[in-house]
Amino acid sequence: MNNLNYPAWLEIDQDKLSFNVRQLLDSIGADRELLAVVKADAYGHGAVPVAKTALANGVNWLGVNLIREALELRQAGIKAPILILGCSSFGYCEEIIRHDLTAVITDSRPLAALSETAQRLGKPALVQIKVDTGMGRLGVEPSSLLQLAEKVVRLPGLSFSGLLSHFPVADQSDKSFTLNQIDIFIALIDKLRLRGLNPPLVHIANSAGVIDLTDYPGNLVRAGIALYGLYPSGEVDHDFFLKPILSFKARISYVKPVPAGVGISYGLTYTTPEETRLAVIPVGYAHGMPRGLSNKGEVLIQGRRCPIRGRVCMDSTIVEVGNLDVEPGDEVVLIGKSGDEYIGADEWAYHLDTINYEIVATLASRLPRLYLVNGKIAIRRDFKVLYEEA
């Protein structure tokens, strides 16, 4: 099999991922460890291959949201520490402990079950406490942190292995709120230490924190979007050089000449003003190409920008190729580089009034993922199955 068999596919450049990991490691310094956030199938890039490459380049921890995401990594033979960032996995206390996973807690409700299971299995339940320093999402209130931490250390079988919080606006140019969060977090760490509570890991910084801040507390950093070569926002320092690791490609399935005055696609929302040529691409919103790109977005063919004409369909999109010499089977770049032109996830996000996170995380699982090393396909993932290349 080769990519000629695919009407549409994703390419994930493992060398660029390795570069981004090394950039982050250089920035955080030797006294901190790096956690790679690979939740949501590594933001659509493929959790297992991304995790393996990240770990091979110096990442210490992996972060997921769901227990099943952690178990997928364990089933792939990954033995690195895994932090379950979501708080919806406490019906799985046995799996958490058996597979040496670390649970994040925000209140005392799961502690009894974790303690009982840990004693029964004869293995500690690793627990980290999340405190809300200003995001208003998950986390124990600062005033209740000490009480919760003391309960964790009192209960048999539990190991208080970390304290964490999260930045909601570190990707904004105004850092006053974030700096206040840091002050709150440091004060809480000091409060715990005064009571003899010293969790081994302390972390609050995310990708934006690493890129824009030089002085933040903790000995662990959680990097998500930056791993994938994307910036958290347009306001962070883009001199922090990253390489986007994902390209989205397809092959033209049909080319046709059309006269002036022809309505195109569902709703006939575009009418050709003059005679031209159109190409059909076998990619639509069921692949993760948003319908909102209808009559707005462009694709790259032979290094030229070709506009989307009419509405994006479920399984196809129509683009205008004009006088380009194209035929079925020719390559189309939807996200990525062709010649001197580049279309990134940020460009899609701009058209759709959203963020690059959403663009890559919603690329469909029906798209095969091809993992490149030294420019050649090293691993394929077709419909959730991994195939090693000879």
How many C-beta atoms lie closer than 10 Å to residue 154's C-beta?
Answer: 10
**Structure confidence at residue 95 (pLDDT):** 95
Which positions are catalytic?
Answer: 39, 266
**Structure confidence at residue 389 (pLDDT):** 43
- Distance (Å, whole) CA 255 – CA 202: 57
How many C-beta atoms lie closer than 10 Å to residue 186's C-beta?
Answer: 16
**Structure confidence at residue 4 (pLDDT):** 61
For the chain, residues with pLDDT lower than 50 are 1, 388-390
Residue 237 within any structural domain of the chain:
no
Q: How many structural domains is the chain composed of?
A: 2
Q: Are 378 and 13 in contact (CB under 8 A)?
A: no
- Distance (Å, whole) CA 362 – CA 60: 27
pTM for this entry:
0.93
Cα radius of gyration (the chain): 24
Q: Are 59 and 35 in contact (CB under 8 A)?
A: yes
Q: Are 212 and 237 in contact (CB under 8 A)?
A: yes
Q: What is the DSSP letter of 124?
A: P
Q: Reduced to 3 states, what is the DSSP secondary structure of residue 14?
A: helix
Tokens, residue 327: 């035929």
| Domain carrying residue 206 | 14-228
- Distance (Å, whole) CA 317 – CA 306: 12
Helix extents (H) in 156-206:
176-194
Say which CATH number the domain at 27 has. 3.20.20.10
Q: Are residues 141 and 186 in the same domain?
A: yes
**Structure confidence at residue 12 (pLDDT):** 97
How confident is the model over 281-293, as pLDDT tens digits?
A: 999 999 999 999 9
Q: Are residues 224 and 316 in the same domain?
A: no
352 Cβ contact partners less than 8 Å away, ≥ 6 residues apart? 290, 292, 293, 359
Of 291, 325, 323, nearest to 308 by C-alpha is 291
Q: Are residues 18 and 92 in the same domain?
A: yes
Q: Are residues 18 and 120 in the same domain?
A: yes
Say which CATH number the domain at 342 has. 2.40.37.10
Tell me the one-letter amino acid at 300.
L
Domain boundary among 166, 194, 228: 228
How confident is the model over 349-379, as pLDDT tens digits?
A: 999 999 999 999 999 999 999 999 998 888 7
Spatial strand order of the sheet with 276-281 comes to 254-258, 276-281, 317-320
- Helices 47-56 and 14-28 pack at an angle, to 10 degrees, of 50
Residue 9 within any structural domain of the chain:
no
Q: Tokens 């050709």 appear where?
A: 272
Q: Are residues 175 and 251 in the same domain?
A: no
Q: Are residues 272 and 338 in the same domain?
A: yes
Domain boundary among 228, 257, 281: 228
Residue 4 within any structural domain of the chain:
no
Residue 8 within any structural domain of the chain:
no
Q: Are 307 and 272 in contact (CB under 8 A)?
A: no
Q: What is the DSSP letter of 108?
A: S
375 Cβ contact partners less than 8 Å away, ≥ 6 residues apart? none
Domain boundary among 168, 200, 228: 228
**Structure confidence at residue 385 (pLDDT):** 53
Bridge partners of residue 184, in order along the sequence: none
Q: Are residues 177 and 33 in the same domain?
A: yes
Q: Are residues 218 and 278 in the same domain?
A: no
Strand pairing class (263-264; 298-301)? unpaired
Q: What is the DSSP letter of 92?
A: G
Residue 240 within any structural domain of the chain:
no
DSSP H or E stretch at residue 125: strand 125-130
Instruction: Please give the C-alpha separations between residue 3 and each of 15, 27, 48, 246, 318, in angstroms, as whole numbers.
Output: 19, 36, 21, 15, 22
- Distance (Å, whole) CA 150 – CA 142: 14
Residue 222 within any structural domain of the chain:
yes
**Structure confidence at residue 88 (pLDDT):** 67
- Helices 176-194 and 145-154 pack at an angle, to 10 degrees, of 40
Residue 151 within any structural domain of the chain:
yes
Q: Are residues 215 and 306 in the same domain?
A: no
Tell me the one-letter amino acid at 370.
L
Strand pairing class (125-130; 317-320)? unpaired
Q: Are residues 30 and 84 in the same domain?
A: yes
Residue 6 within any structural domain of the chain:
no
Q: Are residues 210 and 310 in the same domain?
A: no
Q: Are residues 198 and 250 in the same domain?
A: no
Strand pairing class (246-251; 270-271)? unpaired
